[in-house]
Amino acid sequence: MARDKAETKARILTAVGKLLAESGFKSLGVNAIAREAGVDKVLIYRYFEGLPTLLQQFAQAGDYWLSMEALVGDESTIEAETLADWMTYLLLEFMGDLQERSITQEILRWELLEGNELTDELAQVRDQLALDSLKFLKGKGEFPVDQDVPAISAVLIAGVVYLTLRAKIHNTFMGIDFSAPQGWQRIETALASIIQSTMQ
Amino acid sequence: MARDKAETKARILTAVGKLLAESGFKSLGVNAIAREAGVDKVLIYRYFEGLPTLLQQFAQAGDYWLSMEALVGDESTIEAETLADWMTYLLLEFMGDLQERSITQEILRWELLEGNELTDELAQVRDQLALDSLKFLKGKGEFPVDQDVPAISAVLIAGVVYLTLRAKIHNTFMGIDFSAPQGWQRIETALASIIQSTMQ
DNA sequence: AACAAAAGTCACCGACCAGTGACAAACTAT
DNA sequence: ATAGTTTGTCACTGGTCGGTGACTTTTGTT
């Protein structure tokens, strides 16, 4: 092994991501990380103090959500007019993006069992993104005065997250088949329909 | 220890429930169960063959969801008229009931990580309950032809489950405080509002 | 009373885990 | 070149886990 502290640290951080994506947080221990990184585990203690600090550093290096910029990018290319259009667009983009992010999914799973450095960081960034989205939406039209838009968003996002996490383990939920694109299509349509009906 | 096979088996099954409710499925191992039951672990293997069979028996003895009868009971006492009224009623009852069921919550958490005898049983009963609910609702009014009621239900139920599971670990989600009744009140109102708007 | 089956106890195995102390090899500054 | 520091390797402890074989005690039948 080349004597390169920086590279070794990088290998360790990379191993955390790989393990998370491939085997989930259950198998994320000091031994497994060292094994995956091809590094002696004592180096984890020497360079990162321990698992908590390692996770903290991993969290800060991470990129777990779409940024608002990436989400809306060039607004002119998006065909959305009303507030409801925009909200639908944001939610469906969010969902599609989440489906691709194995590590983020795994951290969200973890978050349902316990809090730690990683999940806290993720939650913070997520809440910020949600705040930004609401702010963005406010610029797209008046919120209906009789609706609690943040609460409605919370329910819908929670639903999307739950269905996404669950679909990785079980194919069906409430009779809907999530192994087929049609299943997801039905969810997308339902979300759009809910938003259009509710946000007018 | 009294030499009573039936009682010993009962103690073991009870221990499973207690451990699940109090410490979650992570600590649910043969050793922990035997310790909690005050019983030698070899008896678990002798009477139940092993953990999987034990969980299976525990699952079958379980009562994890409100039945449709308990849910609607005497219909005449429920103030709901329209289809949307009934759907709101069912969903809010479901949510309130789930909040009280520690074991069910824990199994739902488990279900997000892996499938096993317990989670499969729970999912099956849940899907049956959902089917029954939809059937019941069909008797209360015509489904809007342009809406996918099962998909909409799936999203809302998924949201309720996610928020319930998460609230046990973290106080806030999307800026809403779930440690206070007001937070849940906002969710209930949002759900009612979504259903009223969408199901007309 | 004798005996077999059932119920419960005890001690152990191998595998994995987090964490640490002692050491060897390589790089650096003098 | 030598001394000191950094990087990496090795071997071990103490703990938990799932699983099992061998044993003792109780119970019920004949």
Q: What band does A2 get if pLDDT is binned at 50, 70 and 90?
A: confident
The pLDDT of residue A1 is 65
- A–B CB contacts, 8 A cutoff, strictly below: 155
Task: Choose among B111, B146, B190: nearest Cβ to A148.
Answer: B190
pLDDT tens profile A105-160: 999 999 999 999 999 999 999 999 999 999 999 999 999 999 999 999 999 999 99
pLDDT tens profile A25-39: 999 999 999 999 999
* Residue B1: pLDDT over 80: no
- Which residue's alpha carbon is at the shortest distance from the C1' of C25? A3
Instruction: Indicate if A187 and A140 belong to the same structural domain.
Output: yes
* Residue A6: pLDDT over 80: yes
Average pLDDT over residues B36-60: 97
Instruction: Indicate if A54 and A77 belong to the same structural domain.
Output: no
Q: Which single residue is written with the structure tokens 């639908």? A: A88
* Residue A3: pLDDT over 90: no
Instruction: Indicate if A175 and A194 belong to the same structural domain.
Output: yes
Instruction: Indicate if B109 and B141 belong to the same structural domain.
Output: yes
Instruction: Indicate if B39 and B101 belong to the same structural domain.
Output: no
**A130-134 contacts: CB < 8 A, separation 24 or more?**
A130/A157, A130/B174, A130/B175, A131/B175, A132/A68, A133/A68, A133/A71, A133/A90
Q: Is the CB of B40 under 7 A from strand C?
A: yes
Q: Which of B27, B46, B61 is the last residue of a domain?
A: B61
Number of domains in chain A: 2
Instruction: Indicate if B140 and B41 belong to the same structural domain.
Output: no
Contact yes or no for B194 and A190 at CB 8 A: no
Instruction: Indicate if A171 and A128 belong to the same structural domain.
Output: yes
Q: At B47, which CATH number?
A: 1.10.10.60
Contact yes or no for B111 and A166 at CB 8 A: yes
Q: Within its chain, how far is the Cα of B52 from the centroid?
A: 20
CA separation for the pair B138, B144 (Å, rounded)? 11
> Any bridge partners for residue A176, and if so which?
A173
CA separation for the pair B102, B22 (Å, rounded)? 8
> Which distant-in-sequence residues (6+ apart) come within 8 Å of A177 by Cβ?
A171, A183
Instruction: Indicate if A132 and A78 belong to the same structural domain.
Output: yes
Contact yes or no for A158 and B173 at CB 8 A: yes
Task: Choose among A24, A154, A175: nearest Cβ to B173.
Answer: A154
Instruction: Indicate if A115 and A49 belong to the same structural domain.
Output: no
Query: On the CB side of B178, how many CA atoms lie within 13 Å of its CA?
Result: 20
The pLDDT of residue B73 is 86
Q: Which of B19, B45, B61 is the last residue of a domain?
A: B61
The pLDDT of residue B200 is 86
What domain range is B49 assigned to?
5-61
Task: Choose among B115, B131, B189: nearest Cβ to A175.
Answer: B131
Contact B160, B108 (CB under 8 A): no
Which bases of strand D sit closer than 7 A to a protein CB? 6-11, 16-22, 26-27
pLDDT tens profile B148-170: 999 999 999 999 999 999 999 99
Instruction: Indicate if A87 and A149 belong to the same structural domain.
Output: yes
Compute the C-alpha angle A166/B192/B176, nearest 5°: 65
Q: Which of B18, B41, B61 is the last residue of a domain?
A: B61
Instruction: Indicate if A151 and A106 belong to the same structural domain.
Output: yes
Contacts of A189 in chain B (CB under 8 A): 148, 151
> Which distant-in-sequence residues (6+ apart) come within 8 Å of A100 by Cβ?
none
CA separation for the pair A108, A102 (Å, rounded)? 10
pLDDT tens profile B23-40: 999 999 999 999 999 999
Instruction: Indicate if A173 and A93 belong to the same structural domain.
Output: yes
